[in-house]
Amino acid sequence: MRRTVIAATAAAVLALSAACGSDDASDMADNATQAAGDAVSSATEAAGGEGGADGEAGAEGESAEGEAGADGEAGADGEAGADGESGATGEMGTIALADGSEVEVPAGIAQKYEEIQGTSDHLGAPAGEAQEVAGGQMVEFEGGTLVQNPDGEAFLVQGVILEEYMANGGPDSELGFPTTDETPTETGFISTFDNGEITFDLSTEQATVQQN
Q: What is the pLDDT of residue 173?
A: 96
* Tens-place pLDDT, residues 127-146: 999 999 999 999 999 999 99
* Residues 173, 146, 181, 122, CA torsion sign: positive
Question: Pairing mode, if any, of strands 206-211 and 131-133?
Answer: unpaired
* Tens-place pLDDT, residues 6-60: 344 334 333 333 333 444 444 544 544 454 445 445 444 544 444 444 444 344 4
pTM value is 0.59
Q: Which long-range contacts (CB under 8 A, 24 or more apart) does 8-17 make?
A: 9/33, 9/35, 9/36, 9/39, 10/36
* Residues 170, 101, 96, 158, CA torsion sign: positive
Across 195-209, average pLDDT: 97
Return the higher-pLDDT residue of 25 and 159.
Answer: 159
Q: Where are the domains of the chain?
A: 2-87, 92-211
